[in-house]
Structure 1
Amino acid sequence: MAGLRLGPLLRHVDWETGTGATVWIEADRACEAEVRCADGAGGAARTWRIAGHHYALIPVTGLRPGAETAYRVLLDGEQVWPLPDSPFPDSTIRTPTPRHPATGEASATGEALATGEAPTAGEASTAGEAPGAPATVRVAFGSCRWAARPADSSPDPIGPDALGALAHTLAHTPGAERPDVLVLLGDQIYADETSEATRRWLAARRDVKQPPWEQVADYEEYTRLYDESWLDPEVRWLLSTVPSCMIFDDHDVIDDWNTSEAWLRRMRATPWWRERILSGLMSYWVYQHLGNLSPAELAADPLYAAVREAPDGTEPLREFAARADADPTYARWSYRRDFGRVRLLMVDTRAARVLTEGERAMVAEPELAWLREQALDGADGYATEGSAGPYDHLLIGTSLPWLLPHFVHDVEAWNAAVCGGARGPRWARLGEDLRRRGDLEHWAAFPESFEALTELIAKVGGGPSAPATISVLSGDVHHAYIAEPDWSRWPQPPDSRVRQLTCSPVHNRTYASIRLGFRFGWSRAGRRLGRAFARHGRVTPSRLDWSRTGGPWFGNQLMTLTLRGRAARLRLDQARPDPSGGGARLVTALETDGL
C-alpha cells in the first residue's frame, strides 16, 4: 500500500473562476494520487519520479465558487489524509466568488450565488459576498523559517514558530481571520545551517569531516530538510488548508548565494559545489516552484511534461538545473498571481543576477523586462479618465528589501562602487572581502537595478490607471519595519501609496548585534555615517529618499495585508508562548486602519 510521505500542500487556487485548485503531495512509491472533496469535486494524477522519490501535483476541478469544502487524499484508492486521530479540523479548499475584472465587484453568476445556497460555515473572506460587494483579499507574508525545534519538551531557544502559532490560532479559534494566501519570501529551508537531528542523520550517511561537512550535499539530503520543515504537525495542517506562494533566498542554497563574480568563481572551484547547486535548484523546482504555477502554466511547461512522461525524470530536471545555473536568463523563477484585483509579482533576486563587475544587476534584463510587462499588463486598456486600472493593489514580492535602513543602503552602494574600482584596486580587494563578510548584496548593492525598480514603481503608480497601493513585500533582514518613500525630488511623483513592508523572521534567531545594528542603521547618526561612506565611494545620490514609518520590530512574526476594494489594512502578529500551555499564539503588535 502506498503511503503519504509529505503533504498535502494546497498551492494554487483559481481566482478567475473559483472552480479549481492544485494539491501537491509526495508518496513513498509510484501510485495514483487522488483528491476527493466533500461536494463531489476532485481530481487525480499519476505520480512521477525524481531521484527515487515520487510526487504528484493534483489538479482539482469542479469546485463551487464562493464556497469552502473539505477534502481527502487517496493513494491507489486508500485514504491517507486526514491522518487517523488528527487533532486538527479537516483540510479545506476555499474558493473566491467570480468578480467583474474591471470593478472587482462580486458577480451573481458564480455557482454558489446562482443556486441561492447558503454559504458553508467558516466561509472564505471572498466567498458568498453579495453582488456589487468588493473582494476582500488577505495576504500573510514573512521569511526565514528555521524549522528545527528541540527534540524534547524544553522551550524553544529561538521562540515559538509564527507559522505554528498561525496554525494553532486558525485551528482552535472560531472565527479567526484566515489568510487567502500565505506568501513565503525565502529561506524556507536552511541548507547551510542544519539541525542537530539532521547532522546526526548526515553523519550516519557520509563522512561529515569532508566538504560540505554538516551542510547538505545532494538531492536526497535536501529532501530531509523539507521533511523536517513540512512534517511539523501544525505547519503541515496549515499548508494543507491555506494556499501558498513561495520564492527562494540564499539559505535555500547557501548563505550569500550569488553575492558576486568573485564569490561564484571561488564556489565553482570547490569539488562539492556543483552537486549542491544542482540539487538545490532541482529540489526547489519540485517542492516549491511547481506549486506556484497555474494549471495552464503547468500544461505549457515542457520540462513538467518531460518529467511526467519519463520513467524517471531525474536527468531532464538535472540538465535544466545545470543550464539554469550557467545562464541567469535560461529559467524564469519569477511569476505572477492575480487574486481578483490584487496582483502579486514574485521576483527572483538570486538566480537571475548578473555578477560581472561593470555589468552587475539584481535581475538580468529579460527578467526586468518581464517585471515591467507584468506590472503594466492591462493598464493601457483602462487608462482613461475616471476609469479603474487592471488592479487596485500591486504587491511586489522580493526576498531582499528595496528600501533598507539608510546606513545599510549607503554602505552597500559605497561597497558596489569601490568593488567596481571607484577608489582603485586596493579598495576593490577590501570591498570584495567586506561584501562577503557583511552580506552586502541587497538592491542597494546593485544601484542601477535599484533605480530601475524605483522608476518602475513610480511609473506604475502614476496616472488615472494607478493602483491605490503598491507594496514591496520583503524579508531576509531578521526584523520587521515599514518604510515610506519621499518622492519630493522625483520628476513625476506617483499617485499610489507606496510602502516597503519587511517581515522577518518567521522562526529564527535575532542576535543582539542585529538588533543594535539595525537600530543604528535607522538612526540619524547612522544616516550621517552612511553619507560619509557614499561620498568616499563617489556614489551619485539617488533622487529617492525614504523614512521609516513603523518598527523596527524583532521576534518571530508575520505581517498580513487585508485588501478590500481600494482600501488596505496592515497587521503585524508576533508569536508568543500560550500561557495556558496550549502551544503558541499570535499577539498583534501593530494594526493600521489603512495604508
Structure 2
Amino acid sequence: MPESRLLIGPLLRRVVGTRATVWVETSSPAVARVTTASGAGGTAATFTAFDHHYALVVVEGLTPGTAEPYEVWLDDERVWPQPDSKYPPTLVRTRADDDSEPVHLIFGSCRETTQHATARRLPPDALDAYARRLMASGDAAAELPDLMVLLGDQVYADQTSPTVRKLLSRRRHRPHGAPADQVVSFDEYTKLYLESWRDPEIRWLLATVPSVMMFDDHEIIDDWNTSARWRAEVKEQPWWDERIASGIASYWVYQHLGNLDPDEVAADPIYARVVAARDATSVLREFGAQVDAHVSEAAGDPGTPGVAGGDPLGGPVRVERYQWSYGLDIGRTRLVMLDNRCGRVLDRSRRSMLSPQEWAWFVDRAHGRYDHLVVGSSLPWLLPPAVHHVESWNERLADSRRPRVAALAERLRRAFDLEHWAAFDRSFESLAALFARIGTARTNGAGGGEGGEGGEGGDTPALVGAGPAYPAPASISVLSGDVHHSYVARARFADEVATPVHQLTCSPIHNQVPAFMRPLLKLGWWAGPSGAARALARSAGVRRPGLRWRRLTGPYFGNAISSLRHTGRAAEVVIEGTGKDGVLRVVGHQHLTPQTRPLPARPLPRS
C-alpha cells in the first residue's frame, strides 16, 4: 500500500491502564483501525476539516505490564508498519498494575525542522539523536520512557523553512498584508507538521513513545498575548483573524486532541461536534475565533463580538472558555500541564498568567495523594535572578500611567521577550505560595483564586480552602523550555518547606540562542548583576520575591533532551546534549531528593 495514504502518524499519544489513543492523518476519508497480536484494538472513522482527514483511535484490551507491536489499517489495507521499513517495530507499552514501578519522563521544547530543512545551520537535533539511540538499543522495550513531554514551539509558524517559504510564495490567495514568510491558513499550518513529523526517526519515536504537548508562542506568532497593547495592535492586521483561528484550530487537531485520555476525548464538546459534522471546517474555524474572543475579554477589549455562524448540529458554535491545561497521573507521579499563553488575563488591573477559573482548577488538581508533583509550564517559573528582576521592573513600568514610559517599556518587553512568570508578578508569587503550602508536612485540598478574593485582585495570594489532609510529596518539579538553554535551580522559601522544589528547564531540542546572549544569561546567576537588577526593580516599587533560588546545574546552551526519573520517593534529572557528531552525552545530572538510601543501580544514558 502506498505510504501516501498515511500522511502523518501514527502518533501514540496516551496510554492509560489497558487503553491507548493513536492519532493519524490520512490522504482521504477512511476507517482507521489499530490492532495488536494479542487481540487488542480499536476503530474510528476519520473526520474532515479544511479538506484534511484525521482520526483518533481508542485502543482497548491491552495487557498490563507488556510491550507489543501494533499495526494501523486504513479500511482493509495495512499502512503501518511500512513493508520496507528498516526501523524496529513500533510498540505500545503498558505499565504494570503496581503503582510502585519507577516513572520515567523525557522532556524538552523548541524544535525547528530537521537539519536539511531549516534555513540556519543548527547543532544536531536532540530528539532525532534520542530516537536513533533508542532504536539501536538491544532492548528498546525496557528503555522506553513512560511519557514524552513537549513543552512548546513544536512548530514555528513565524520562522518557516525554505521549503515552506517556497510553498507560500506560490499561493495566489492569501489575506491582504499577510507576512510572506509566515503561515496564515489552516492548510499552511498542516505543512509545518508534515515537514516536522514525517522525519523518519521522529516519526518512529512519536509512534512508539506516548506524548503530551503544550503550545507556546511560535505555534501562533512570536510574543503571542504578551500584553493587552500587543493584542490591540495585532488585531488591526487584516490577516490576524484567519491566522489566530487557523492556529488555534490546527493546535487542537494536531496537538491538544491527543493530550486527552480516552474518557476525556468522549466528553470534549468540540470533539463531539467535529465527529458529528460531515465537514468540520466551520466548527473548527468558529471555535478558533471564539477562543481568541475570550482572550480579548480577558485583555479588557471593549465590545468583543460574539461568533456568528453555525454547524451541522444546528445553531452557532458556542463554547465557554476552553481550558487547554490538563492533568494526568502515572504511577505515583502527578503531571499538570499549564497553558501559559492562551489563558492569560491581560487587563492591567488583573494581569495574571492563568484566569481565576483555571487557577482554581490547578489548585484543586495540585492537591492529592502522590509522591511527586510535576508541573509542565512552557515558560520557566524561575529564571536567572537578574533576568527575573529585570522582567518584574519592566512589568511595572509597562503599566505606568506616563505614556512615554509605558511605550518604552512595552518596546523592551517585546524586543527581549520579557514575558515569563516574573512579568506576571502576582502569578509568580501565587505559584510560590502554592508550592510552599503543598510542600509542608501536611496540606489541605483547596480551592481559591489567584491573588486576593476569588482571584480578582489584591496583594496577598489567596490559597485557602477546606478538604482532606494530604502528606507532602517527595518532590515538586517545574518543567519548562522557551529560553534556549538548560539548567536546574532549587527554590528556597522563607519558612521551612519539607518538599524540595526545583525548576528544570530544557531548551532547545533543535534551535540555538544567539551567541551574544550566552554571557548575559550566565551573568544572570551571579550575585553582583542580580543585586543590581534587584535594586532596579525596587526603584520601580517592585517587592522582593517571597523566595530565593540558586542554580545547581547549567546553564547549557546546546541542543538537549532531559530525563526525569522517579524511583519510589527518590527523584533525579539528567540533561543530555548533542555534540557535532549528533550523539547524546550527559551534560548535567542532579539528584532532586535527599539520598537517604542509594538509588537502585542504573547506568546513565549511553553516549
Partner residue of 2:187 out of 170, 195, 220: 220
Q: Does 1:28 align with 2:15?
A: no
Distance 2:349 2:70 in 1: 53
**2:106–2:562: 8 Å Cα contact kept in structure 1?**
yes
CA contact (8 A) 2:114 2:125 kept: no
Give the CA deviation at 1:86. Answer: 1.0
Kept in 2, the 8 Å contact 1:150–1:156? The answer is no
Is 1:75 the counterpart of 2:94? The answer is no
Q: Does 1:552 align with 2:555?
A: yes
1:169-568 equivalent positions in 2, closer than 5 A = 169-175=133-139, 177-206=143-172, 210-328=177-295, 330-376=321-367, 379=368, 390-421=369-400, 424-464=402-442, 465-487=471-493, 489-490=494-495, 493-568=496-571
3-state SS of the aligned residue for 1:29? coil
Alpha-carbon distance between aligned partners in 2 of 1:509 and 1:546, rounded to the nearest angstrom: 25
**What is the letter of the counterpart of residue 523 of structure 1?**
W
Question: Structure 1 residue 495: deviation in Å?
Answer: 1.2
Number of residue pairs matched by the alignment: 536
Q: When the two structures are superposed, what TM-score results if normalisation uses the length of structure 2?
A: 0.86
Q: 1:87 to 1:577 in 2, by over 3 A?
A: farther
Counterpart-to-counterpart distance in 1, 2:63 and 2:162: 45
Point out the more displaced range, 323-332 or 49-58: 323-332
CA–CA distance in structure 2, aligned partners of residues 264 and 249 of structure 1: 16
Write the distance in 2 (CA, Å) between the matches of 1:8 and 1:400. 29
Q: What is the deviation of 1:594?
A: 4.9
Distance in 1 (alpha carbons) for counterparts of 2:356 and 2:387: 25
Q: Which letter does structure 2 place at the counterpart of 1:181?
A: L
Which residue is 2:584 aligned to? 586
Preserved CA contact (<8 Å) 1:281 1:321: yes
Q: Distance in 2 between matches of 1:172 and 1:165?
A: 11
CA distance in 1, matches of 2:110, 2:385: 22
> Which of residues 95, 103, 108 is equivalent to 1:142?
108
Among the aligned pairs, what percent are the same residue?
49
Match in the other structure for 2:10: 8
Q: Is the CA contact 2:577–2:585 (under 8 Å) kept in the aligned structure 1?
A: yes
> In 2, Cα distance between the equivalents of 1:206 and 1:441?
36
The reply to whether residue 163 of structure 1 matches residue 123 of structure 2 is: no
How far 1:175 moved relative to its partner? 3.8
Write the distance in 2 (CA, Å) between the matches of 1:510 and 1:396.
24
CA-to-aligned-CA distance 1:14-35 (integer Å, 9 cap, x gap): 0xxx311000000111010000
* 2:585 aligned partner, one-letter code: V
Classify the secondary structure of the residue corresponding to 1:370. Answer: helix
- Structure 2 gaps of 5+ residues are 296-319, 443-470, 594-607
- Cα distance in 2, alignment partners of residues 371 and 407 from structure 1: 28
Residues 391-400 or 541-550, more deviating: 541-550
Paired with 1:187 and 1:166, the residues of 2 have a C-alpha distance of 18
Contact 2:553 2:589 (8 Å CA) reproduced: no
CA–CA distance in 2 between the matches of 1:401 and 1:319?
32
Q: Is the 8 A contact 1:417 1:537 kept in 2?
A: yes
CA-to-aligned-CA distance 1:554-576 (integer Å, 9 cap, x gap):
11101101111111121111123
Runs of 4+ in structure 1 off by over 6 angstroms are none
Contact 1:23 1:59 in 2 (8 A): yes
Instruction: Tell whether the 8 Å contact from 1:217 to 1:276 is kept in structure 2 after alignment.
Output: yes
Q: For each residue in 1:155-204, what CA deviation from the matched residue of structure 2 results, as whole angstroms up to 9, or x when unmatched?
A: 98211111100110000122463211000000000000000111111111
Query: What does the per-residue CA deviation read over 1:104-151, in whole Å, with 9 as the maximum and x for residues that have no partner?
Result: 3xxxxxxxxxxxxxxxxxxxxxxxxxxxxx211100000000014225
Shift of residue 213, structure 1, vs aligned partner: 1.5
Distance 2:505 2:210 in 1: 21
The aligned residue for residue 46 of structure 2 is 47
SS at 2:579's partner residue?
strand
The alignment yields a C-alpha RMSD, in angstroms, of 1.7
Q: What CA distance in whole angstroms lies between the structure 2 residues aligned with 1:394 and 1:524?
A: 30
Q: Which amino acid aligns with 1:484?
A: R
Q: In 2, distance between residues paired with 1:28 and 1:150?
A: 25
Secondary structure of residue in 2 paired with 1:205: coil
The 3-state SS of whatever aligns with 2:488 is: strand
Supply the AA of the counterpart residue of 2:472.
A
1:254-306 Cα deviation digits (max 9, x unpaired): 00000100000000010011110110000000000010001111111121011
Normalised to the residue count of structure 1, the TM-score between the two structures is 0.88
Any conservation in 2 of the 1:476–1:504 contact (CA below 8 Å)?
yes
| Inter-partner Cα distance in structure 2 for 1:528 and 1:541 | 11
Unaligned runs of 5+ in 1: 105-133, 380-389, 579-583
Summarize deviations over 1:466-523 as a string: whole Å, max 9, x none.
Answer: 1100000000000001111111x23xx3211110000000000222122122112112
Question: 1: distance between equivalents of 2:351 and 2:394?
Answer: 13
